[in-house]
Amino acid sequence: MDYAITLIPGDGIGPEVSEAAVRVVDAVCPGIRWRRVDAGASAVETHGTPLPEGVIEAVRETRVALKGPCTTPVGKGFSSVNVALRQALELYVSLRPVDTLPGVKTHHEDVQLVVFRENTEGLYAGMEHEPVEGVVESLRMVSEHASRRFAKFAYEWCRFEGHRKVHLVHKASIMKLSDGLFLDVAREVASDYPFIETDDILIDHLCMSLVLDPTPFDVLVMENLFGDLLSDLCAGLVGGLGLVPGANIGDRYAVFEAVHGSAPDIAGKGIANPIALIRSAAMMLKHIGERDGSARVERAVRTVLEKGEALTGDLGGSATTRQITDAIIREL
């Protein structure tokens, strides 16, 4: 099949892991034409802005993108490209499957979690101001419309993929209005899916429970900031950020990216683990209908991890990004 897909290599380790993912995808699906565009700190250097208009246009045209991580300066400088992209393209769902992988040492076995994170609202609406000097207000935006479409997507996905247990994650004991609205709307949506067991849980309680024993949980549905934090916690349960893939999905477009960031501490050394982005690319292949190619990539990744001969430093090995990618391609 002949596809055009936007490629946003990103910053830091982004270009290294993107190159790896492209090599793997090309090996199973040679018909893809990559439309490469720059965003993030690299685009500031080349285009004078972190999110050139051409980036949004490219994703609108191809509808699907594979994206490396983009750096966001802390406390000052430009706002997050990642957040802007999700808002501009209405990618209102972030979907992150977190599962135990063969050969990866972890504290718990048989972890099978799916994190659903609302991607457009909450504290990430970016509404902050300083009404008087020394006092800053940050608005936590929750709307019925965004909560409903997000919850609906999560439940439809569960129905389609055969997941039967959802936890709605919140802190409505304190944020009674905002999380209260999210919870009410999500419960209303849940009532249309009586064959899926729904429970709710406070975010703090969930954090402790996951660290002690994640196995009773299946699908976790929550607002933006909680989802951001919990994604990293869950990645830690299965071996770290180098392994966990993700997708940002809306009604018209989808952007696939790993949970991890641009990892400036290891950027440029050729030692980043490309598996998280390669598995994000496998999710992308499934999304565009290349189910066989997607399954082959996922199988090859698992075989390489199980053999343990070409592991990157984060997994206790000494392989480079290129070496582990070569090993995955050999297994395809």
Q: Is 204 a catalytic residue?
A: yes
When the beta carbons of 94 and 198 are compared against ligand NAI, the nearer one is: 94
Contact in structure between 228 and 117 (CB atoms under 8 Å): yes
Contact in structure between 104 and 305 (CB atoms under 8 Å): yes
Q: Can you tell me which of 9, 50, 69, 239 binds ligand NAI, judged by CB under 6 A?
A: 69
In angstroms, the CA 138 to CA 126 distance is 8
When asked if residue 325 is in the footprint of ligand NAI (CB under 6 A), the reply is no
Q: Can you tell me which of 314, 319, 320, 327 binds ligand NAI, judged by CB under 6 A?
A: 314
What string marks each residue from 201 to 240 as x (binds ligand NAI by CB under 6 A) or -?
----------------------------------------
When the beta carbons of 40 and 198 are compared against ligand NAI, the nearer one is: 40
In angstroms, the CA 190 to CA 175 distance is 21
In angstroms, the CA 220 to CA 200 distance is 9
Minimum gap (Å) between residue 289 Cβ and ligand NAI: 25
Residue found by looking up tokens 């944020």 in the block: 175
Q: Can you tell me which of 37, 84, 154, 276 binds ligand NAI, judged by CB under 6 A?
A: 276
DSSP secondary structure code for residue 75 in this structure: S
Residues 6-45 that bind ligand NAI (CB under 6 A): 13, 17
Minimum gap (Å) between residue 311 Cβ and ligand NAI: 11
Nearest CA-CA partner of 80 in 257, 230, 299: 257
Minimum gap (Å) between residue 42 Cβ and ligand NAI: 12
DSSP secondary structure code for residue 273 in this structure: -
Q: Can you tell me which of 94, 147, 262, 320 binds ligand NAI, judged by CB under 6 A?
A: 262
Instruction: Name the burial class of residue 181, with classes exposed (0-12), middle (13-18) and buried (19+) by CB atoms within 10 angstroms of its CB.
Output: middle
Minimum gap (Å) between residue 86 Cβ and ligand NAI: 9
Q: Is 228 a catalytic residue?
A: yes
Which is catalytic among the residues 3, 92, 124, 155?
124
Q: Is 124 a catalytic residue?
A: yes
Name residue 65's amino acid: A
For the chain, the C-alpha Rg in angstroms (whole number) is 19
Residues forming a β-bridge with 96: 115
When the beta carbons of 71 and 198 are compared against ligand NAI, the nearer one is: 71
Which is catalytic among the residues 99, 152, 165, 171?
171
Minimum gap (Å) between residue 267 Cβ and ligand NAI: 8
Contact in structure between 86 and 119 (CB atoms under 8 Å): yes
Instruction: Name the burial class of residue 112, with classes exposed (0-12), middle (13-18) and buried (19+) by CB atoms within 10 angstroms of its CB.
Output: middle
In angstroms, the CA 251 to CA 309 distance is 41
When the beta carbons of 65 and 166 are compared against ligand NAI, the nearer one is: 65
Minimum gap (Å) between residue 233 Cβ and ligand NAI: 13
In angstroms, the CA 63 to CA 211 distance is 37
Residue with CB nearest ligand NAI?
261
- Which residues are part of the catalytic machinery? 124, 171, 204, 228
Binding site for ligand NAI (CB under 6 A): 13, 17, 69-72, 82, 241-242, 257, 260-266, 272-273, 276, 314
